[in-house]
Amino acid sequence: MADLNIPEDLRYTKDDEWIRVAGDTGTIGVTDYAQQALGDITYVELPAVGAELRQGAEFAVVESAKAASDVFAPVGGTVTEVNSALEENPELINQDPYGEGWLCRISDVIVEQIESLLSPEEYEKLLAEEGSR
């Protein structure tokens, strides 16, 4: 894989999702590693606004020419916004996975669950240990 971008201000899951938390609001997406592994993303199925997410439960699907991949919630919370730009431009995930390619925003983030996620250093180590999965 090419050099991976692993921002320092995020927490990560072992399944290659990320969350950026500000107060009790979180923005969720898939990592640079995940988008590279999937290849050119062609379709994204997003959750409904108001949906209740449970940590570790599937909440979205990202499809590429290679495969369809379930996306799992890094923490629990309530969906307050989805990135509707992805409906017309799913490739935003490939182009900017930590910026314009975010999937959804949630409120009522369960703060204790953040602690169970990987730090940037732990995520980088996981990827290095697993090699090219």
* Cβ burial, residue 128 (10 Å; 0-12/13-18/19+): exposed
Tokens 């990135």 sit on residue: 83
Rounded to whole angstroms, how far apart are CA atoms 33 and 26?
20
Is 7 inside a domain boundary? no
Does the pTM exceed 0.85?
A: yes
d(CA 12, CA 23): 17
pLDDT in tens, 110-130: 889 999 999 999 999 999 987
Mind listing the pLDDT tens digit for each residue in 25-79? 999 999 999 999 999 999 999 999 999 999 999 999 999 988 899 999 999 999 9
Within a domain: 48: yes
| 1 falls within a domain | no
The H or E element containing residue 78 is strand 77-82
Residue 8 lies in a domain: no
CATH number at residue 32: 2.40.50.100
Domain with 37 in it: 14-130
Does 113 reside within a domain? yes
Q: How many domains does the chain have?
A: 1
Whether 4 is covered by a domain: the verdict is no
